[in-house]
């Protein structure tokens, strides 16, 4: 089996004046827990990954450091997961049930090449 990186992308959220309640957070997390739990139950989850903050730094050759990600990007990388699958097609099928797809986001599926 090969490992695949699932990269979750979505449009940046507008800053909210009120943080979500614990109940709202739980409601948002439940579909993710169920989806990842289903992959784990099939022994195909390598790591659930982590969420990523929207900002960061970009280092280019010559040690030039700028704010990142890119200003022209309309979507931000919000997180990642690593799964196991026999093929890109199988990994894509597993990703097709990702909860981010129900809120306008997308999932990039990439094979991980061992060093």
- To which H or E segment does residue 107 belong? strand 106-111
Strand partners, 101: none
What was the pLDDT predicted at 72?
Answer: 55
What was the pLDDT predicted at 96?
Answer: 95
What was the pLDDT predicted at 53?
Answer: 76
pLDDT in tens, 10-41: 876 666 667 778 898 898 899 999 999 999 99
pTM above 0.75, yes or no: yes
Domain range summary for the chain, segments of one domain joined by +: 2-11+28-111
What was the pLDDT predicted at 64?
Answer: 78
Taking residues 77-85, report their average pLDDT: 93
Burial class (CB in 10 A: 0-12, 13-18, 19+), 2: middle
pLDDT in tens, 36-65: 999 999 999 999 998 887 677 778 788 878
Separation of alpha carbons 76 and 58, rounded Å: 14
The CATH code for residues 2-11+28-111 is 3.30.70.1060
**Does residue 71 have a pLDDT over 60?**
no
What was the pLDDT predicted at 3?
Answer: 97
């Amino acid at each position: 089996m090969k490992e695949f990186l699932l990269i979750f992308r979505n449009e940046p959220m507008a800053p909210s004046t009120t943080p979500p309640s614990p109940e709202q957070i739980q409601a948002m997390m439940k579909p993710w827990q169920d989806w990842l739990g289903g992959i784990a139950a099939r022994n195909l989850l390598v790591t659930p990954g982590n969420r990523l903050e929207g900002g960061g730094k970009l280092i280019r050759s010559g040690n030039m450091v700028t704010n990142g990600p890119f200003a022209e990007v309309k979507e931000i990388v919000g997180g990642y997961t690593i799964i196991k699958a026999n093929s890109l097609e199988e990994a894509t099928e597993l990703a097709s049930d990702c909860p981010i797809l129900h809120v306008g986001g997308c999932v990039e599926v990439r094979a991980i090449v061992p060093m």
